[in-house]
Structure 1
Amino acid sequence: MITITESGAPPADQIEDQIRGLITTGIAAANQRLPSVRQLASDLGVAPGTVAKAYRSLEREGYLVSRVGSGTRVSTTVSATPQVVLAAATRFAAISRRESMDLEDAVRVLRALWSD
């Protein structure tokens, strides 16, 4: 489920990040139809242009495919993250929350380790 928070991030960025996450975790499968721009905007209480902006960005990145008459779907060319990586990320997120780390600090840890 997609939500808009008071995180300070623009709503279009939040929508984009959440849809990207649904796709990379395999929750949204290849060729799965997404809600229409108007429907998702109504559900989230944002302007249709906000959702359209997120959809366009994800389409440019290759995550989504939009066609007149068939709506917006998850691209068949993207693949989900391997289960072993998802399992490790899930454990890392749970431990980080338990230790009262915020998301930005957890991301900093990953970035620091990534460069090793």
Structure 2
Amino acid sequence: MTRGERALLISVDAGSSVPPYEQLRGQLAEMIGDGRLPVGTRLPTVRQLAADLNLAANTVARAYRELESAGLLQTRGRHGTFVAPGRDDAMDRLHRVATDYAAEARRLGVPPAAALALVRAALDATRPG
């Protein structure tokens, strides 16, 4: 591991109904959200993490892309992928609430599609006008 990298304690359950990329994305998002992966932390390469977790490289790449789209990660070309700076407090708080919601939905056995539908309905209900 190079300077700025941290060991990632991630596990992917092949028998889970949750797709592997989503398990990985969720665990990384949680680690970023609660500060276990602070801003500037360099993540392993896609290939390295895929090998470490016995996953396909495309699975890890998808999780990284989704986290980058959410503003949690930043790819700096050949320099690697890092926890993104500039997250604001509102997004951090909302991420924590979303993580708690996802955990509660899973605990209650609510399928991800149904949990997302509930969130969409709640967002639509709070739309002005």
Structures share fold, TM-score greater than 0.5: yes
The percent identity for this pair of structures is 37
**Aligned: 1:13 with 2:13:** no
**CA distance in structure 1 between the aligned counterparts of 2:43 and 2:88, rounded to whole angstroms:** 17
- Picking from 60, 67, 85, the partner of 1:51 is 60
Q: Find runs of 4+ consecutive structure 1 residues off by over 3 angstroms.
A: 79-82
Listed one character per residue, the Cα deviations across residues 59-116 of structure 1 (whole Å, up to 9, x for unaligned) are: 000000001121000001226857xx8xxx7xxx9xxxxxxx99422999xx9xxx9x
Relative to structure 1, the CA distance from residue 61 to residue 102 in structure 2 (aligned partners, 3 Å threshold; closer, same or farther) is closer
- The match for 1:3 is 11
CA RMSD of aligned residues (A): 2.8
- The match for 1:31 is 40
In the alignment, structure 1 segments of 5+ residues that lack a partner are: 94-100
How many residues get paired?
A: 96
TM-score between both structures, scaled by the size of structure 2: 0.63
Give the counterpart letter for 1:56 in structure 2. R
Higher relative contact order (CA 8 A, sep 6+): 1
TM-score between both structures, scaled by the size of structure 1: 0.69
**Aligned: 1:60 with 2:60:** no
1:24–1:79 CA contact under 8 A, matched in 2: no
**Aligned: 1:104 with 2:112:** no
In structure 1, the residue corresponding to 2:78 is in which secondary structure?
coil
Relative to structure 1, the CA distance from residue 12 to residue 102 in structure 2 (aligned partners, 3 Å threshold; closer, same or farther) is closer
- Picking from 56, 78, 83, the partner of 1:74 is 83
In structure 1, the residue corresponding to 2:43 is in which secondary structure?
coil
